[in-house]
Amino acid sequence: MADRIAPNPPSPYATADPNTRHLLPGLFGEPRPATLAPTGCDRLAVVPAEALRAAGDSNAFPPGICDTCIAAWYAALRGQELPDDRPTTDCRECQSQTRHDGLCALCRQDAHEEWTRTTEGAR
């Protein structure tokens, strides 16, 4: 029995479930560790220092991975996308349409970087 995989590192700007590990499809190349990246379940999570080795070339995902991310992974293999019924709202910073709860992905990535800088500076 494999160990349950640790969740993604926390951030106040992540929108993905903080209790599970999310898959990061890396549509724009390998995501940089500690940045906020889009997840398979179409939310945002922090990129962990150690990438998942099994994901991508194995049919079995280790325990602890987000169910929606896995469902999205298999849907993508069939050329499909999961339906998404979350409401869109205006981003409170840049007024673009977003499903990320009032603050869009780009503004969250900026805010997360700022947060990382200030928390690291405080140590």
Residue 94 engages Zn ion in binding (rule: CB under 5 A): yes
Q: Which of 49, 50, 64 is nearest to 6 (CA)?
A: 64
User: Least Å distance between CB 91 and Zn ion?
Assistant: 3
Please say whether the dihedral angle defined by the alpha carbons of residues 65, 44, 28 and 119, taken in this order, is positive or negative: negative
CB 36 within 8 A of CB 106: no
User: Least Å distance between CB 95 and Zn ion?
Assistant: 7
Residue choice 69, 73, 100, 112 for contact with Zn ion (CB under 5 A): 69
Residue with smaller CB distance to Zn ion, 2 or 45: 45
Residue 72 engages Zn ion in binding (rule: CB under 5 A): no
Helix (H) or strand (E) holding 114: helix 105-121
Residues in contact with Zn ion by the rule CB under 5 A: 22, 39, 41, 66, 68-69, 91, 93-94, 104, 107
